[in-house]
């Protein structure tokens, strides 16, 4: 509910925040690129996710929503979501450390990486964090750990329902040959899984994550149905409710074409209820792991236009936002187009006729373009270009090409009277930090060899 209530105001809040960021100098000549996060929008999306599943689940169903940390790996974001009742899904020692820094309790943490080391598994079991094993070799490691020390960790196996690909190959996790999980339709896999559970009474969960951007909702729901049916089969074979929780992953796609938040978590929960009614009848606890759908619409990447030039008749705005903050868009523009909004030197929305132009980044290769031949009011030096819907998988995931500094990230709340309050979610990186991270302190360095 809250997300739809908030969405008519989303662009107004964004315009207010851009203007205030320029006025307050968060972005400008000394900080030519910054990320802005709409705290009101994030809270609304978290509330809408909770409401969506509560609306279709039997009363009393245990539901844990976790946020896939890789989407926006910032501790203040994890803290904010924690306050909204959302836990974390982590996939590396770094992400687990971020979750712990945000004081997310182990009971609200799920570990899912495809390459967990023995040390990671030992730490997770000692902390009581839920773990989904990716494959038989990892299960053998869990066997050894479980028999050597008691653990409170809920343990499960990730299955790949092999339902097929969406429109973006690199993000399709449930193809026949995907690297993730146990491939359910491979010969003998189903029988092996049933036996594996019967032999290990401590395996109480089943996990799948069958979508991401580009995968249709129906296909995702199909993946969940396949996983649910396997759980039913295992429980029937066990003669008891051995699997008590289904982790259905994340993957709700995001609309990058307008401010409309669609599809909604409510639409997906409704489709799941129709496709897999048993999932919500109260016999199973549910875990979700949404990333992009919780954060994407609430981020704006704002960059100063340093120069405006023309080449071969094409106007080009040279900005400070390129491959370092929008890596996927720059390397795969066909799959990841971003909307760009134009603001003037005071941070006010630019008006005027749309002119096809390139919005370029600062990196030293020709393909470093945020948008190519894109119709916008003509950007001039001193203006600002804003890449919209960049709250997940963009500016918080820096790529250090050309040793370009990580920009500051600022959360904001826009008040009804037009005022905007900012809080820092990540300090901008300094050049001194870049030097230190690049071996600057290693004085003898390679010369001692």
Site string for ligand PLP, 86-115 (x = CB under 6 A): ---x----------------------x---
Q: Restricting to residues 44-83, name those near ligand PLP by CB under 6 A.
A: 68, 70-71
Q: Where are the alpha helices (DSSP H) in 301-445?
A: 327-331, 431-437
Site string for ligand PLP, 140-169 (x = CB under 6 A): ------------------------------
The greatest distance separating any two alpha carbons of the chain, rounded to the nearest whole angstrom, comes to: 73
Task: By CB under 6 A, tell whether 222 contacts ligand PLP.
Answer: no
Q: Restricting to residues 321-380, name those near ligand PLP by CB under 6 A.
A: none
Give CA separation, 54 vs 57, 61, 221, 224, in Å: 5, 8, 18, 18
- Tell which residue, 356, 359, 386, has the closest CA to residue 371: 359
Note whether 31 and 307 are within 8 A (CB): no
Name which position in 35, 161, 291, 362 contacts ligand PLP (CB under 6 A).
Answer: 291
Distance CA 270, CA 277 (A): 10
Task: By CB under 6 A, tell whether 223 contacts ligand PLP.
Answer: no
DSSP of 88-126: EEE-SHHHHHHHHHTT--GGGEEE--TT--HHHHHHHHH
Rounded least distance, CB 275 to ligand PLP, Å: 18
CB-facing half-sphere around the CA of 194: CA atoms within 13 A: 13
Q: Which is nearer to ligand PLP, 106 or 251 (CB)?
A: 251
Rounded least distance, CB 180 to ligand PLP, Å: 7
Per-residue DSSP letter, 403: G
Q: Which is nearer to ligand PLP, 27 or 387 (CB)?
A: 387
Rounded least distance, CB 290 to ligand PLP, Å: 5
Q: Which is nearer to ligand PLP, 250 or 362 (CB)?
A: 250
Q: Which stretch binds ligand PLP (CB under 6 A): 99-107, 135-143, 244-252, 300-308?
A: 244-252
Note whether 278 and 230 are within 8 A (CB): no
Rounded least distance, CB 448 to ligand PLP, Å: 41
Measured in degrees and rounded to the nearest 5, phi and psi for residue 24 equal -90, 0
Q: For the chain, report the end-to-end CA distance as a whole number of angstroms.
A: 63
Per-residue DSSP letter, 373: E
Q: Which stretch binds ligand PLP (CB under 6 A): 32-40, 101-109, 247-255, 331-339?
A: 247-255
Note whether 317 and 383 are within 8 A (CB): yes
Distance CA 132, CA 158 (A): 6
Name which position in 7, 227, 235, 293 contacts ligand PLP (CB under 6 A).
Answer: 293
3-state secondary structure of 166: coil
Task: By CB under 6 A, tell whether 288 contacts ligand PLP.
Answer: no
Name which position in 35, 166, 214, 251 contacts ligand PLP (CB under 6 A).
Answer: 251
Task: By CB under 6 A, tell whether 209 contacts ligand PLP.
Answer: yes
Name which position in 50, 292, 328, 374 contacts ligand PLP (CB under 6 A).
Answer: 292
Rounded least distance, CB 282 to ligand PLP, Å: 24
Rounded least distance, CB 71 to ligand PLP, Å: 5
Q: Which stretch binds ligand PLP (CB under 6 A): 260-268, 277-285, 289-297, 407-415?
A: 289-297
Rounded least distance, CB 223 to ligand PLP, Å: 12
Bridge partners of residue 63, in order along the sequence: 286
Q: Which is nearer to ligand PLP, 70 or 374 (CB)?
A: 70
Task: By CB under 6 A, tell whether 250 contacts ligand PLP.
Answer: yes
Which residues, at least 6 apart from 88, have a Cβ–Cβ distance to it below 8 Å?
Answer: 66, 67, 69, 78, 81, 95, 99, 102, 104, 108, 109, 110
Q: List residues binding ligand PLP (CB under 6 A).
A: 68, 70-71, 89, 112, 209, 212, 249-252, 289-293
């Amino acid at each position: 509910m809250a997300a739809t209530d908030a969405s008519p105001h989303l662009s107004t809040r964004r315009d207010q925040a851009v203007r205030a960021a320029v006025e307050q100098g968060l972005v400008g000549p000394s900080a030519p690129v910054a990320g802005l996060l709409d705290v009101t929008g994030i809270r609304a999306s978290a509330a809408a996710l909770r409401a969506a599943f509560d609306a279709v689940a039997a009363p009393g169903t245990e539901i844990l929503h976790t946020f896939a940390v890789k989407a926006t790996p910032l501790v203040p974001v994890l803290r904010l979501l924690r306050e909204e009742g959302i836990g974390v899904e982590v996939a590396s020692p770094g992400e687990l450390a971020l979750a712990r820094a945000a004081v997310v309790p182990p009971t609200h943490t799920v570990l899912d990486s495809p390459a967990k080391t023995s040390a990671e598994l030992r730490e997770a079991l000692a902390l009581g964090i839920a773990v989904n094993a990716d494959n038989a070799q990892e299960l053998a490691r869990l066997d050894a750990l479980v028999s050597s020390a008691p653990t409170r960790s809920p343990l499960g196996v990730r299955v790949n329902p092999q339902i097929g690909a969406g429109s973006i190959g690199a993000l399709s996790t449930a193809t026949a040959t995907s690297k993730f999980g146990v491939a359910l339709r491979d010969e003998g896999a189903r029988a092996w899984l049933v036996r594996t559970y019967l032999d290990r009474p401590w395996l109480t969960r089943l996990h799948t994550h069958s979508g991401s951007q580009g995968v249709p909702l129906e296909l995702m729901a199909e993946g969940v149905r396949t996983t649910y049916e396997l759980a039913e089969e295992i429980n029937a074979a066990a003669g008891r409710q051995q699997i008590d929780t289904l982790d259905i992953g994340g993957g709700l796609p995001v609309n990058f074409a307008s401010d409309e938040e669609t599809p909604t978590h409510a639409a997906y929960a409704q489709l799941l209820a129709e496709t897999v009614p048993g999932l919500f009848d109260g016999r199973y606890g549910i875990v979700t792991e949404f990333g992009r759908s919780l954060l994407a619409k609430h981020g704006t990447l704002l960059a100063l236009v340093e120069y405006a030039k023309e080449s071969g008749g094409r106007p080009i705005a040279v900005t400070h936002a390129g491959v370092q903050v929008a890596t996927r868009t720059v390397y795969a523009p066909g799959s990841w187009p971003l909307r760009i909004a134009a603001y003037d030197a005071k941070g006010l929305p630019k008006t005027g006729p749309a002119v096809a132009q390139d919005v370029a980044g600062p990196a030293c290769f020709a393909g470093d373009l945020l948008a190519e031949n894109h119709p916008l009011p003509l950007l001039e030096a001193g203006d600002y270009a804003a890449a919209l819907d960049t709250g997940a998988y963009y500016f918080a995931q820096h790529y250090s090409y050309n040793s370009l500094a990580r920009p500051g990230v600022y959360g904001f709340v826009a008040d009804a009277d037009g005022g905007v309050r900012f809080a820092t979610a990540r300090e901008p990186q300094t050049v001194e930090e870049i030097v230190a991270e690049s071996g600057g302190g290693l004085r003898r360095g390679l010369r001692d060899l």
